[in-house]
Amino acid sequence: MFLALSEMRRAKVRFGLLAGAVGLLVFLILFQQALLTGLVNQFIGALKNQSADVLVFNAQARKNLEGSIILPDQAAAIAAVEGVDVAAPLGEGTFTVLAGGEETDAVIFGYELGGPGAPTTLIEGRLPEVGGEAVASSRNAADGFDIGDTVTVVPNPGGTATTFTVVGLAREINYSVSPTLFTDFAGFETARRAVNPDATQVLPSVMAVRVVAGADPAEVADAITAAVEGTEGLTRQQAVDESPGVASVRQSFSVILLLFYLVVPLVTGLFFLIVTFQKAGALTLLRAIGSPAGPLVRSLLIQVVAVVLSGAVLATGLFWLASLGGGGGLGITVEPMPVITTTLVVLVLALLTSFAAVRRVLRIDPIAATTGAGVQV
């Protein structure tokens, strides 16, 4: 360790630049991961953070919540499937609303109070208890969706304006990157009739299912699909993962992240390989005066660890700065586990790629000190 740290002190600029480069690359990895999570949460956070174990779509909707409706006979059949404890309607729609004195688009979810489909990430206030109350996304609190604010659905001609009072805020419940409200299903029906006064019946978008205690949601979802014609049951996680567009976004980000994960260890490994060649004479002399290969290899690996950890610390600081204020509205937050996991993965990969430099150290022939040959290639 003394040899490793002594060399790093003598070459502060060289090792500092490498640590900075690693830090910037790790920062980009962390930023891309957080950006992916933020985008997914803004697109389908409402599905991810609601209480239903299973969501049952119309099969023709192809897992698209906006295009799904459940007919009354289908709803009754779903409730009768073995493993279903409660099956309740869950409605979803995008409406023009008046909030904070301005018109904007907002998504409204309607669920049966006390039943499945309620938001699960409440951070302030309470859930709706009577009609006309709603929980809003905390991300949009400053836009007229804070506790105590009223949100009015702008009616079409012939319709009646519907007003909701925000009584709670929940984290990460946006849908389609829009302000989102969770209210009772009767309120959702009223909002639907406000924009479509001629509607004779408001059908739920999906059925929100709570499975019986001990039942496997995946098995219940498959049983519903098999038993009820024209429906497709999905677990909550399946509804998130298979939502249209989400898989494509994740695949695109995965390619970018893979490239970053390849670049960091390659840069580190190449640097230490070059440094090993540059100091071949000194290493050969150390071997010639009796220094075993083990301490020299450990010194190299200690330097790799020190550089990567220094870069990770720098990356975490930059990531924290980027997350201030929610990362410019992108929903970026610093969480310990992604930082730790990313650092460990990068460290392991850097150690693996440094084996090329280790191999060069192990191949040093002490007799070369008498010939000036240096490292044997």
**Are 95 and 106 in contact, with CB atoms under 8 Å apart?**
yes
Do 52 and 38 sit in the same domain of this protein? no
pLDDT, position 355: 80
Whether residue 265 is found in the same domain as residue 336: yes
Tell me, yes or no, whether 14 lies in a domain: yes
Asked, for residue 377, whether it belongs to a domain, the answer is no
Residue range 297-324: average pLDDT? 86
Query: Comparing 71 with 253, which gets the higher pLDDT?
Result: 71
User: Domain range spanning residue 79?
Assistant: 46-241
Whether residues 216 and 151 fall in one domain = yes
375 pLDDT higher than 50: no
Per-residue confidence band for 220, with pLDDT thresholds at 50, 70 and 90: very high
Do both 229 and 307 map to the same domain? Answer: no
Q: Of 222, 241, 260, which closes a domain?
A: 241
Overall average pLDDT of the 158-180 stretch = 91
Residue 17 lies in a domain: yes
Same domain? For 58 and 154 the reply is: yes
Q: Flag whether pLDDT at 7 surpasses 90.
A: no
What's the structural domain count of the chain?
2
Whether 319 is covered by a domain: the verdict is yes
Q: Which of 241, 261, 282 is the C-terminal boundary of a domain?
A: 241
Percent of residues, the chain, with pLDDT higher than 90 = 48
Query: Is there a single domain that holds both residue 257 and residue 337?
Result: yes
At 250 the pLDDT is 81
Q: Averaging pLDDT over each range in 64-68, 71-75, 299-303, 326-330, which range is the top one?
A: 71-75
Query: What is the mean predicted confidence (pLDDT) over 351-368?
Result: 72
Residue 110, pLDDT > 90, answer yes
Q: How much is the pLDDT for 286?
A: 61
Beta bridge partners of 209: 54, 87
Same domain, 53 and 69: yes
Does the pLDDT of residue 2 top 80, yes or no? no
Mean pLDDT on 237-260? 85
Cα distance between residue 361 and residue 369, in whole Å: 14
Residues 71-96 have a mean pLDDT of: 95
> pLDDT value at position 266?
86
Q: Does 308 reside within a domain?
A: yes
pLDDT at 374: 47
pLDDT > 70 fraction of the chain, expressed in percent and rounded: 87
- 375 in a structural domain: no
Would the pLDDT of 163 be above 90? yes
| More confident site: 232 or 279 | 232
Closest CA to 309 of 339, 276, 353: 339
pLDDT tens, position by position, 280-299: 666 666 656 656 666 777 78
Contact 114/127 with Cβ under 8 angstroms? no
Is the pLDDT at 3 greater than 80? The verdict is no
Q: Among 241, 264, 296, give the residue marking a domain's end.
A: 241
Contacts of 341 (CB under 8 A, 6+ apart): none
Please give the average per-residue pLDDT across 255-278, as a whole number.
Answer: 82
Q: Does residue 76 lie in a domain region?
A: yes
pLDDT at 377: 43
- Whether the per-residue pLDDT at 327 is higher than 60: the answer is no
> Model pTM?
0.75
On the question of pLDDT at 367 being above 80, the answer is no
Same domain, 167 and 280: no
Residues 151 and 220 in one domain: yes
For range 172-190, the mean pLDDT: 93
Considering the domain architecture, whether residues 79 and 221 belong to the same structural domain is answered as: yes
Q: Summarize the confidence of residues 93-108 as an average pLDDT.
A: 94
Is 28 in the same domain as 95? no
- The whole-angstrom separation of Cα 25 and Cα 29 is 6
- Whether 69 shows a pLDDT value over 80: the answer reads yes
User: Mean pLDDT for the chain?
Assistant: 86
Residue 376 confidence (pLDDT) above 50: no
Kindly indicate the confidence band of residue 372, based on its pLDDT and cuts at 50, 70 and 90.
Answer: low
Average pLDDT (323-336) is 67
CA distance 357 to 373: 17
Please give the pLDDT value at position 81: 94
**Sign for the pseudo-dihedral over CA of 349, 352, 358, 360:** negative
Question: Do 36 and 70 have their domain in common?
Answer: no
pLDDT of residue 229: 94
Residue-level pLDDT at 38 = 80
- 22, burial (CB in 10 Å: exposed 0-12, middle 13-18, buried 19+): buried
Q: Is 245 helix (H, G, I), strand (E, B) or coil?
A: coil
- pLDDT tops 80 at residue 34: yes
**Residue 30 pLDDT > 80, yes or no?**
yes
Q: Say if 376 falls within a structural domain.
A: no
